[in-house]
Amino acid sequence: MNKQQPLRGEQTGKRRVITLGPAASMAGTESEAKMANIKIKNLAGSEVGDFELLDEVFAGEVNEALLWEAVKHYRAALRQGTHATKNRKLVSGAGKKLWKQKGTGRARVGSIRTPLWRGGGTVHGPQPRSYEYAFPRKKLLGALRSALASKVADGKLVVVENFAVEEGKTKHFRNALNKLDAKKTALMVETSQELSEKLYLGSRNLNGVELVLSSEVHPYDLLRYEYAVFSKAAIEALQETLKKSLSKRKSAEAQKEAA
């Protein structure tokens, strides 16, 4: 971030409002978007340029409740759901009636596999199932904007020119991340068009590092790792996607107000 445009944030309940620099005067239409710059670095840690961050995407409210919903949905889909219990038709044991119904003085019983007896079947026990459920796309994109705004506010968002290296070796990417101050955990984001075999092979064995595509990045990924390292192409593609979704939402709200 430029020193002339410091980050400022204030906590309001479960939503933290992030602003990128001083508020700019909106001379003209409301469609004009405020911009803030972030430094573009190379893998050696040197600054090579600037990238304009759209204020509508990277400086909105950090909706913690929405982030919680997105993480819950993601983790629910990770569950295998292979738990199973045996009911009375699955447990071992004969189906013969143990004694006659009347005349013995004992309680009536029909099978040794009855749930009332030890070793019998389980009633209403868990069965294999999927824990996935539908999550609205608008809420997912909103959570993604909140996660990105949080990273920018914390200074944990890094943009590099590209991930080009001479050899696809782990040590090259480890050294590069160290020079970018991402020494602990990091999420590396690249576009499908720029993804190379060297990048895949060199990053897959890094401890605490994950490589994802810009079209597949999830709020859970951004919250899980300390640093988010985007290539210039990846941050451009993601910003354009979030910008389009935000514009659609604003136009829909405007139409409702007009009606």
CA dist., res. 221 & res. 183, Å (int): 17
Nearest CA-CA partner of 87 in 44, 125, 34: 125
CA dist., res. 22 & res. 7, Å (int): 9
Is 154 in the same domain as 210? Answer: yes
Q: What does pLDDT average to over the chain? A: 82
Q: Per DSSP, what are the bridge partners of residue 15?
A: 12, 63
Mean pLDDT of 144-170: 88
The answer to whether residue 1 sits within a structural domain is: no
Is 56 in the same domain as 157? Answer: yes
**Residue 43 · residue 165 · CB < 8 Å:** yes
The answer to whether residue 51 sits within a structural domain is: yes
- Domain ends where: 61, 94, 125? 125
Collapsing DSSP states into helix, strand and coil, what is residue 215?
A: coil
pLDDT value of position 166:
82
Q: Choose between 193 and 101: higher pLDDT.
A: 101
Q: Choose between 7 and 142: higher pLDDT.
A: 142
- Angstrom distances, CA of residue 259 to CA of 124, 174, 253: 51, 56, 10
Which domain does 209 fall in, by range? Answer: 7-24+33-78+134-254
Q: Angle at CA 4, nearest 5°, toward 226 and 41?
A: 45
pLDDT tier at 189, thresholds 50, 70, 90: very high
Question: What confidence tens digit (pLDDT) does each residue in 93-150 have?
Answer: 988 999 999 999 999 999 999 999 999 999 999 999 999 999 999 899 999 999 999 9
pLDDT tier at 244, thresholds 50, 70, 90: confident
% of the chain exceeding 70 in pLDDT: 81
pLDDT tier at 250, thresholds 50, 70, 90: low
- What residue type is assigned to position 35 of the chain? M
Mean pLDDT of 45-52: 85
CA dist., res. 186 & res. 151, Å (int): 12
pLDDT value of position 28:
36
- What residue type is assigned to position 86 of the chain? K
Mean pLDDT of 58-62: 81
Structurally, how many domains does the chain consist of?
2
Is 236 in the same domain as 181? Answer: yes
pTM for the model: 0.73
**Residue 55 · residue 203 · CB < 8 Å:** no
